Structures are given as C-alpha cells and as structure tokens.
Structure 1
Amino acid sequence: MAASEQAAPFIDSFAPSTEEQWRKKVEAALKGAPAQKLVTKTYDGFDIQPLYARAANRPRAFRASGDWAVTARVDHPDAAAANELALTDLENGATGLQVVFAGAVGAYGFGLKDAAALAPALKDIQLDAGLRIVLDLPVHSGLHVAALLDLVAARGYDPKTLDISFGLDPIGAAAATAAPLNWAEEGPKLAELAKILIAKGFDKGLIAADGRVVHAAGGSPAQELAFALASGVAALRTLEAAGLSLDAARKLIDFRLAADADEFITLAKFRALRRLWASVERACGLEAKPVRVHGETAWRMMTRRDPWVNLLRATVAVFSAGLGGADSISVLPFTQALGLPDVFARRIARNTQLVLLEESSLGKVADPAAGSGGVEALTDSLVERGYALFQDIEKAGGLAKALESGAFQSEVAKTADERAKNVARRKEPLTGASEFPDIHEKPVTVLLPAPAAPAVNAKANPKTLSPHRVAEAFEALRDQADAASARPKIFLANLGPVAAFTARATFAKNFFEAGGVEALGNDGFADAVALVAGFKASGAKLAVLCSSDAVYAEQGIEAAKSLAAAGAHLFVAGRPGEQEAQWRDAGAQDFVFVGSDILAQLRDALKAA
C-alpha cells in the first residue's frame, strides 16, 4: 500500500479547525480576560497578533542562491595571533572572514591595531579561493584601503576573482563616534575613492550601508532599516554626482544588519530590507537585482553574566538572519562581552552556523518564510514603518543632515530609553542576567580581558549613536555585590506550608540574585516566632516575606512587625493592594512583584545590605 493511501484515512479522521474554534478556546483559557491581552506592540508601534491567516503573495526579493558565507572574525590586536586564529577557522569550515580594525563599528573593544597589521593578519590566506572578505573599517580608512590594494598587487590577484566587501561607510562610522562629518566634502571624497577602486578592477561591494550602529545604540528594527536605506541612497546620490551611472553605482553598495534573538522580527527585518532596496532601485528606473547583505549577531543582546546563554541567543539570531536572506553571517563568540574570545569560543561560534547549514540545510530553500501569515505581516509592517522613517530622513535633507541636527539620534534614544524601562521591569527578560541568574557561576576563559568601556554622556553628546548592551545595568549590580567584602544576603522569610510560599519564594530568589544578593532558602516557618528565630540565625540584614495571599491575610502583618522589630530591612513578595499602608506601618520597606522596578529595588537592597 502506498504511503499516501495509508495516510489518507488518518488525515480524514480530523476535521479542519477554524479561527472561530480557536477563539473559543482562547476565551476559555483567558477566563473572561479580553483577547487583546494576547496582542503585543513592537517598539515601532505596530501590533503583533496572536494568530494570522495564510498570507497572499507578496513582493519578494531573493538573495543569491547557495549557502550563506560562514564568516569568522579577525579581531586580535596582535596580527600574528589574528592570523593563527583565522587559519584555524578556515581549516575547520569557515568560508569567509570579517577583518575588524580597532575603532570600527563592529570592533567592540578589539580589532587589528592599524593598516600595517592587515598583511600579516592575512598571511597564507588565499583570498582568491572563494572566500567572502568583509572589512570593518574605522572612520578614517584611507590607509586601510591602501594596505589592501598593496596586498592584492603584491600577491598578483585579479580583483575580479575576489569577493571583498570594503565597507566604506563614513556616515555610519561618524555616527558611532560623533566624529564631525561634512558630507559636502566627504561625499565627493568617497566617490573619488570608489572611482580609484573601480579603476583597480573592483566594481562591487565598495560601500556599506550599515544599520548595526543603530541597533547597538538601542534603536528599533524600522529605525535600523531606515538608517541603512538612507545611507544607501546617500551613496547612490554622491556616486551619481561623480559621474557614475545608477546601475554601476548600485553594484558598489551592500548592506549590513544586526541579528538578535527576536526570531520573527529579525527574520522579517532582513526580508524587509531587500524589499525596501528593491523599491529604491525601481524608483531609479532600474530592474531590482539581489543585493548583498551581511548579518552580524547583535552586540546589544550579549551578556557577561551566564555567557553560555549567548549560545542560544546566537543560534536564534543566525537562524533568523539566514532564513531572512543574509548572504554572509558573523557570529560574536559567546564570551565577546567578557574579552577577546579564545579558540573554543570561536569554534562554537563557527559551528553554530555550520550545524544549521550542514545538518539542517537552512541555506537550501529561498525565502522559506514566504506565505507565512505572521512573518509576511511583520515584513509588511517593517517595510511600511521603515519607509516612513526613511521619508522623514529625506525630508530633513538626507541622512547626513538628519544626523547633524541630532533629530535621528533623538528618536533612537527614545526607543533605547523605552527598552531600558522594560528591561528594568523585566518586561523584556534577560536569561542569566535579570532572569534565572547563577550567582555562583564559574568563570570562562578569554584571551584578553575586555577593555573598560569609554564613559559616554548621552546628554553632553546626544548626537552619538554609542553602542551598549541591555544587560549592563544588571551586570553593574552584580559587580558591586561581588566586590563587597562579604556577599550581600537576603533571608527568604517563608511563612506557612510549602505550597503556600514556594511560588513567591522562587520569584524572590531570582529577583534578588539578579543583583548578586544571595537568597537564603529554607523549608518554611509556622509562625512569626519561628520566622524571627530563623532570620536571626541567618545573619542577613535583608529579609523578604514570602507566602500566599491567604496566609498573608491571617499572619502577614504580625510577621512583618516581628521581622522589622528584629532589625530586618523588609521586603514583601507580592503586590500590596489596598493593604499597603498597613504593611508599611508594620515595617515593610518595599514590595517585589512582576512589573516592579527591579533595578531600583536592587540598588536599595545593596545599600541596605
């Protein structure tokens, strides 16, 4: 019997489900709460629905066929060491290199020291062997480009055989550092350099429209797309003004985006970029063609605490960027925020991509999300919002003028502030940092410790799109707790039976240990007398009362009074509701619950400890 004949009766035994049936199930599960509760709003202001119908056909813009390039970072400050690490990556599956120089947008504290380091860093690496080379250059990059041209000439390469993304991006580099940028002067210089490279035989991938700087500064997906699109259009204009045809000019531009752990938004963002740029090409009277897009796993999402979770974040990011159409991807090794990654961390970064490509065959299908109602809707929304923001930039006179005025940076800062508030209240949880922290984690090995991040005063220099990681505030509290002569501790004042206090005790443990305050657990206490005895025996200065609402109603106020009288700086797990005044009169200092400002409360706890 054929497989289809065997399957048919099984399939026919299930009636097709309908949206109405789904909504009835939702209503029952929500127990009277509105279905709107399941709708979430993005930082770009559009809604994400819980259910989407299958999408109709949409405009599509494909990447070139084949697997994306597995791109390893070349960022060791010592050129010889960088070369050794790069050769190891190439010998073990990498198909490209991201050559990062100090001061570049993607340097994150490291990078080759100067242009002279390029040749030794690429020693014994055959650039014409099908490798994808992505350069990450600092603001002033003339010497770096000259060094590459010297290397190509010395080795006798035919530029037509090389796949190099030069990454010339004076606008993005200036935005990241607040370096002065006179685009009226720098634009023609960029075009002149491009013409020199064209004369040398390089006719593609010279200029990068790089959105990573916006993402690292806390911007939204649509802001990142608008920045990249405006950067590409600025390059088109300056190249056309220098005498290049629009068809020749567009071949010189490729794109770079950050990929983070928001799976569907990242996937939709990469798809949206291709559609947006295709619309620009058509507006120029050109037939849309595949554009090169490089993805890098996001610096913003990396954590120093429990860095192993970064492996999961990077895997989701690569998956999303790859399915979204990235032509090459670079993975920040999981220890990148702690320092210069070692061979092991680099191997895991490399294999994150290789497993997805070789074992899951993710590169074999073009645009696999096409037709998915949810992904298509997200893509449509990002295209619409990204283009509207791009139009705002154009109305301001183009990207350079928008940055000069500080208007664009101001909007990015608003988004970053909103995200920071959500992180502080754990509406945007960070596993290992704000959620499920491990205060006894074992250290990991790095080749060099991360340099101290430069102090950036956003108010003093609001035009800077300075990179930051969303976990930094929690990490600062952990550092403070670790530096104390004795680790701060909080006594879990568990009142009543285990079933009554377990949920809030577990919540309180995660809450306080996110700030490095060790939670001292126990099996619970039957009354206030035993509770106070347990607190005194613990030696802690802090206590958090944990139990159910029912137990609180019977014994909570008395227990709070007893603990406060015993000298405890007392928190109560749960919302105080109408009894807040009574709780505070009894000695409760504060209340910890889902949605409270955990950062502010942890700072208070560390002061009191």
Structure 2
Amino acid sequence: MDDVHKEGNEPLFDEFQRPSREEWKEAAIALLKGRPFEKAMYTKTPEGITIDPIYDLASLDALSHTGSLPGYAPFVRGTKVSGNLIKPWDICQQVYAGDPEEFNTILIEDLHNGQNALNMPLDAPSLAGIDADNADTSSVGNRGVSISTVADLEVAFKEIIFDALPVHINTGNNPVPLTAMFLALLEKRGTDPASLHGVLGYDPLGQIAGHGTIGITIEKSMNLMSEVLTAVSESDSDLRTILVEGHPYHNGGADSVTELAYMIATGTFYLREMLNRGHSVEAVSKRVVFSLSLGSNFFMEISKIRAARMLWHRIVKEFGGNDDARKMYIHGKTSSWTKTVYDPYVGMLRNTSEAFSGAMGGVDSLTVIPFDEAIREADSFSRRVSRNVQSILQEECHFTRPIDPAGGSWFIESLTSEVSASAWKAFQEIEAAGGMNSIILDGTAAEKVAAKYEEQFRDMAKRKRVWVGVNKYANMSEEKLEVHERNEKELLQKRKKTLAAVRSKRKDFELSGFERGLKGLTRAAAEGATIQELYALSSGDSRNAPAVEPVKKQRGAERFEALRDKTIEMKSSNIVPAVLLLNIGPVPNHKPRADFTRGYFEVGAFDVLSNKGFSSPEEMIEAAASTPAQVAVFCGKDTDYPEIVAQTAGVIKEKRPEIKLVIAGRPAKDLEPVYREAGIDHFIYMGSNCYELLNTLQEGIENNG
C-alpha cells in the first residue's frame, strides 16, 4: 500500500488504545445476545455479493485500482482530470410530447429552467420506421414525439442551435433514416454537420431485447451502424452513434451486475463487429455511449458506474486501443423499475437518491425520469421536480466538487472491486456462450432477467426488500393521481394533415430514384421522403430478421399494486376484505404485533378492525363470531398464545368455520402443530410471505362472496 494510505493512521492521543478488529467483533457479538454473528452482521445482495459489517484501511490492501487518479487509467475515478469542476454532467431531461410543435414549446421552456441537453424520446412508430398516418392511433405520440419527416424535425427544433446543445436520441430499429433526416435538416439550415454533437445512437441488440425484433438481420444492422460511423467520422463531428443501453434488462428485473455484464458484452460485440468492417479501435470507441439505469441501492449504483469504467478500459486495452479510446462515456437514467403507482410522490425521493448515486459515481450526462412515469405522461410539475433534482445536486449541494467524492471510501472501493469481478465473470460466460447477440437470440438473456426478477420478488414478497408505500407503510387514505387524457384522434388527424402537406409538395418524387446509401437517403429526406420510405430504402429484405420473446418490462412493485387494485375492485362490488385484530390484554402487551399486523394487511388494502384489547376469552370469541371480517389475527405476547388459542380458536371455528385464524408471530417448532390442530390457519412474522398470504386470502374471500 502506498504512503498516502498510511497518513493519519496513528491515534490522536497516546493515552487512547486503538481497538483491533477482533475487539470490535467481540463487542458486537456481546450486543447480539446469542444471535449468530455471520447471519446478523453480513448482508447478501441480489448480485450475490456479501457486504461486510465494517470496512477499514486493510480492505484496500488487495485492490489494484486505489492508487489511480481522476482522468487516468483504469478510469475508475472518472475519465476527466477536472471531474465536474469545470464542466458538470449534462442535465439531459426527456421531453415528453407527442406533437413536434408541442415538443418544441416544452423544450424551450425547460431549457430556460436549467436543462442543458436535448433528450428526445421517439414514439414507437418512429422508432420502428412507421409513418404516423400508417400507425395504430394509440401509439402515435405515446410516450414520445412523432417524427415522420424532416419537416417534423424543423418544427421540433425551431430556434434550437445544435452547436450549443448536445442531443440524446435513440435512433430505433435502423440508424440511417433518422441520421439522414438530421443531415438534411442541417443542410437546409446551412449548418456544418460537425455542429451536431451528443448522442444519435443505435443499439440494435437493445432494441431486440426490449421489443423482440428490429425488422432486419443482425448482419444488416451492423452494416448500417458501420455506414453511419463512417459518415460521422468523415464529418469531423464528435457525435456518438453507437448506443449501449442497460435499461431493457434493468427494467425487467436484472440486478446491477447482470445489467453491467450485458452492457459490457453488448459494447464488445459492437466493437468487434466494427473492427471487422475496417474501423480502428480509436474510431469506434469515441463513438460509443453506455446508458445505464440507476437503481435504489445507493452504494451499489455508485460502484456499478465506477466498475463499468474499469471493465471498458480493460476490454478496449485488450483490443489494442490507446488511453483515450479506453475512456467510457456514461449516461445515467434513474430507474423506471423502482417507480410506483401507489404513494407515487415517494418516487421523488427515489429519484433524488438514484440521481445522487449517478453524481457520486461520475456519469457524463443524467436523466431523472418523472416521479409519476408509472401512471401518466409527465406534466410541467413532474418535469420541473425531476429537473430540479439535478439543479439542486449541482448548484445547492455542490456535488460537482470535489472530484470523485467516492474515491478512497473503504466500502465503495471494495464494492467497486467486487462488482467489477462479478460482472467480468458474467461477461466471460456470455462470451463463452457465443456473445451477447447469441444469448439474446436464443432467449437466454430474457430468461435470466426473468429469473432475476423472481429472485428479487421473493424478497419483496417477504418484505425483506421494502417498497415504501407498496409492500410496507401503505397510505390507506391516498387518492390515485389523475391520468392526463390524451386526445389521440386529434393528434393523429394533425399528424395526417402534416404528412399530407409534405407529400403534396413533392415533385416528380420516385423513391427508386435515390441511392440506398446515407448520402442518397439524405437527399431523399430533403425532398420530402418519410421515415417509412427511408426505412424501405435502407433496410432491404426483412425475411430473415430475428424475432424473439423480448425481456418482459415489469416494475418491482407491480404485483403488490395488482393485489391492492383487486381489493379496491372487490370493495366496489360490496365484497370488503377485512381483518379483525384479536388483541390480547392491555395495550402495551399487544400493540407491537397489532401495529405489525395492521401494516401487513394494509399493503393489500384490507380493512383492519382494531380495538384496545380483550380482557377475556369470551369477549374474544364473541367479537370473532359477530365481526364481518373474514380474517382474525391473534396479537399478543408469545407467552399468551398457548392458553388463549387453546381456549378460543376451536370455538371460533365452530361458530364461523369459514373464518381464517392467524397468529402474529413466528411459533416455536413444537408449538406450530399444536396451534394448527387448535384451528390456526396461518402465521405472520418478519420474513413470512406477505404477498402469497394476502393473495390466498383475497382469492378465498372473493370466491366466498
């Protein structure tokens, strides 16, 4: 270890003895009062990484990267010597508007209020190369802007100066049409193509993973990627045209290591394919951008970002790239997977933590999604709140300084190393299986992500992983946010009218008269060719295009939300799932478990009928026999249960055979069969499967009417 790590390691005062790690462990064991140290003090993450209870200076001894500095290999501390001091990360908020004119209005408003990068999500038809007047009504302008012609781009970017504003756009299934449209727009403006900078990125594997197909073969997609790469390189632009997105995997339930491994494997596939087409490592690497999701595990996400830079450095080095080529450009985006329909304002807090991890990890640009994304399209309020998270991080919290604030943290440095090692191992397994394209096409990637979701949901179901407001701390008095109505027909009519106007101005227009390369398509776009026509001209034969089952996009909270929705639906039909608390004795005796039980059932929107406690078994029996509740839960001390259950459970079951009796607390092994024999149906406790029980009870209540 270098001398820097040794400085300040001496005690401040000679009279105080520095405790050893063993002494700390002995003190911790004493406080655990018999609980196993390894079980109580070590934490296993969804990535399979074990988190130690404490880290110290010795934790850094075996780490090879801790002596590095910002801007130097292996770039774990960032790719810029100056970090965010001179140029902070770009505030790259998505602008949600279906109509190009509305998009422009919102974009200019947001640029005046702190945004400094242009992030334009396209609607599904535009991503797939389908004209607005040939698409399903509901898909046009849904969660993205509808772009069919250069005229649409003109409207969307009215008064926008590309020299001053980096873009961030996913080009969809084929990069050539949208690139051609941008080049035609720049030519019409008399603007140097080199002025366009930022990301106009193509991620065919990500598109297949997320949507199942791109309408062309992988080979064709790589040829198109190469064609755009060549054109941009010749224009002397610093535009990044190769996009690697981790979002399809993260939003399907993948853990951080899996997302990172898939991204690194995808980047490697693209790099190898471009090298095979005659490009240099340096020419390719400078055009790649990695866009990753930022989840709720704060320290894990910081470490994922730092590990990503280490891994990409290692890979590009293996391909012979120079130091500049080994630098990784990272765009961060707060997680869609963590957002919820219920208690949605908690999403503001999640966004803040996720964005904070991006700032600490050192992203180059950042998108904070609207807190209400799971419910509706963003309005001015949700856009402003999300944008202001970034402004506060930069301008109030000053997270732009110092450079690499996470650097030197014993925990973060250790976790970075473990994430890197785990992702590298997963990456090697992908390579051994034929590469990222192979595991996407044979379904392995989607299957693994689905399995990861189930692994994580098991912890959610048992409330070991908490979704505040969803599987714990439910707000029973909340009202759902109102969904903004979209006038789909009005938007479609406007888009049809715009397209008709463009087509009416075309003179002697024959699609077959244009060359199939990017130059020919740029000329066609300038003369009014639509995105669908440009796709037809550039995509070619689609008969051998891959079609696979995509990664299923599913938020972490969805199943609990569905449970709650079902209860609310039942209540509207006068079937009210309800729970009676059979509180034993005075309040101090039953309150802890009564509170636990209330929270347990309220996440499923069950009504909970409470009381100040029953003083006799007879009162308890009478209450259970007369209650409208379909479930009754004994709440008290463990020592109360044997006698009370023996005196009441059987009688309650005789009077109401259909009622489900539950004990709050985990029974001793020898007592569980006794309780069940007495009439107890279920037990609830920390670590029991909340989702499974509530789902079972809900189905039974519904069936019994």
Deviation, 1:13, is 8.0
Amino acid at match of 1:530: E
Q: 1: distance between equivalents of 2:302 and 2:263?
A: 16
Of the three residues 459, 464, 477, the one matched with 1:422 is 459
Is the 1:494–1:524 Cα contact (8 Å) retained in structure 2?
yes
RMSD: 2.6
The one-letter amino acid paired with 1:225 is L
- CA drift of 1:246 comes to 1.3
Q: Aligned equivalents of 2:368 and 2:430: distance in 1?
A: 31
Equivalent in the alignment of 1:88: 109
Q: Counterparts in 2 of 1:23-422, with a 5 A limit?
A: 23-37=25-39, 38-54=41-57, 55-56=60-61, 57-59=66-68, 60-61=74-75, 62-64=78-80, 65-66=83-84, 67-103=88-124, 110-116=143-149, 117-129=152-164, 131-179=165-213, 182-289=217-324, 290-422=327-459
Matching residue's letter, 1:497: P
Q: Any unmatched runs of 5+ in structure 2? A: 1-10, 69-73, 129-139, 489-546
CA deviations over 1:532-567 (Å, ceiling 9, x no partner): 444456532222221111211331332323433442
Provide, for residues 502-544 of structure 1, a one-character-per-residue CA deviation record: whole Å limited to 9, x for no partner: 1111111111111111212221111222224444565322222
Does structure 1 residue 492 correspond to structure 2 residue 555?
no
Structure 1 residue 511 and structure 2 residue 631: aligned? no
Contact persistence 1:542–1:608 (CA under 8 A): no
CA distance in 2, matches of 1:256, 1:327: 10
Which letter does structure 1 place at the counterpart of 2:311? L
Q: Do the aligned partners of 2:175 and 2:225 also contact (CA within 8 Å) in 1?
A: no
Q: How far off its partner does 1:73 sit?
A: 0.8
Does the 8 A contact of 2:208 with 2:548 survive in 1?
Answer: no
TM norm structure 1:
0.91
State whether residues 541 and 569 of structure 1, in contact with CA within 8 Å, keep that contact through their aligned partners in structure 2.
yes
Q: SS of 1:392's equivalent? A: helix
Higher relative contact order (CA 8 A, sep 6+): 2
Query: Does the 8 Å CA contact 1:341/1:446 hold for their aligned counterparts?
Result: no
Distance 2:695 2:548 in 1: 26
1:599 and 2:691 matched = yes
| 1:42–1:48 Cα contact (<8 Å) kept | yes
Amino acid at match of 1:470: G
**What is the SS of the residue equivalent to 1:44?**
coil
Distance 1:421 1:39 in 2: 19
Q: Which residue of 2 aligns with 1:454?
A: none
Distance in 1 (alpha carbons) for counterparts of 2:181 and 2:217: 25
Asked if the contact 2:175/2:224 (under 8 Å) is kept, the reply is no
Are residue 569 (structure 1) and residue 585 (structure 2) matched?
Answer: no
**How far does the alpha carbon of each residue in 1:137-187 deviate from its partner, in whole angstroms, 9 at most, with x for none?**
432454333332233333333343443211211111111112166322321
Letter in 1 for 2:144: G
**Corresponding position of 1:3:** none
Of structures 1 and 2, the larger Rg is shown by 2
**Would you say the 8 A contact 2:96–2:145 is kept in 1?**
yes
Task: State the shift of 1:46 in Å.
Answer: 2.5
Distance in 2, matches of 1:153 and 1:351, equals: 35
CA contact (8 A) 1:481 1:606 kept: yes
Distance across 1 between alignment mates of 2:304 and 2:169: 23
Secondary structure (helix, strand or coil) at the match of 1:511 reads: helix
User: Secondary structure of 2:400's match?
Assistant: helix
1:546 aligns with 2:546: no
After the TM superposition, which of the residue ranges 250-259 and 144-153 deviates more from structure 2?
Answer: 144-153
Deviations 1:581-607 (A, max 9, x none): 332233322121222221111112212
Aligned to 1:470: 556
Whole-angstrom CA distance in 1 between matches of 2:637 and 2:353: 37
Q: Which amino acid aligns with 2:102?
A: A
**Residues 398-433 of structure 1: per-residue CA shift (max 9 Å, x gap):** 221222222333332322221121111112111110
Contact 1:527 1:559 in 2 (8 A): no
Of residues 515, 526, 547, the one that matches 2:615 is 526
3-state SS of 2:582 partner? strand
- Equivalent position to 2:24, from 14, 19, 22: 22
Residues 140, 39 of structure 1: CA spacing in aligned structure 2 closer, same or farther, 3 A cutoff? same
Query: TM-score of the superposition, structure 2-length normalised?
Result: 0.79
CA distance in 1, matches of 2:614, 2:341: 37
Question: Structure 1 365/558 Cα, relative in aligned 2: closer, same or farther at 3 Å?
Answer: same
CA offsets 1:313-358 (integer angstroms, 9 cap, x no match):
1111111111111011101111000111211111111111111111
Name the CA shift for 1:427/1:58 in 2 (closer, same or farther; >3 Å). farther
